[in-house]
Structure 1
Amino acid sequence: MTDFNAIAADYINAFNETDAAERKRLVAELFTADVYYVDPMAAVSGHDGVDAFIAAAHQQFPGWVFTLVGPVDGHGTQARFTWGLGPAGAEPPVIGFDVIVVDEDGRIVQVLGFLDKVPTA
């Protein structure tokens, strides 16, 4: 049985990692080599694509952190969870919802992301 809570926690940890070498290692462990990630801001594939996407998020929102918001819901090979992005300890101004698909080893093969709350300029 797949532990989607652990996978979602690892996902958030990878997105919060600011050390480039450590982030690359986490991405390689968590995602398959041919992972496909798509959300309203980007469509990327592979470890390098996911890593570059995460690095860009850190550049756009320096010092902000990702958090899980609410429970992880999963069955079969897919799960969904809501995440927040904002200053540590504060109400996140950005809220998103991701659906992940995993392989038989529990590695993420696909991410379908949605943005539910985005601050206006």
Structure 2
Amino acid sequence: MNTLVDRTAVVTGAASGIGKCHLALVDINGEALERVRAELALPNRKVSLHVANVADRPRMLALPEEVLAAHGHVHLLVNNAGVSVAGRFEDVSLEDMEMARLSPELSQEVTARLSQRMPF
């Protein structure tokens, strides 16, 4: 028995998709999200799209209420997106370091806000 059938999942970094749930898909690439929605547009499957960069504080803090307005509740959160920085330390910009710092912080904040409203 699949306990995720007819549940709502929020998946960041979702351009590759997930099935058997109602989905609130979040990714920085809106065009890729549209392609995933087309692939997942099955009967009785509710899919909402939310374009967001996980290092964009105002956007990520607005996301939980936006998802809840679209779906009413969330059963599962997959913090799949993240920002990493590669290269020699002296070659990494301060902006890139700040984005890498913000990504886990904002993921934690979204988790806290959504988990308060999960029906468990």
Question: TM > 0.5 between the two?
Answer: no
TM-score with structure 2 setting the length: 0.27
Tell which structure's C-alpha radius of gyration is larger: 2
- Structure whose residues are more often strand by fraction: 1
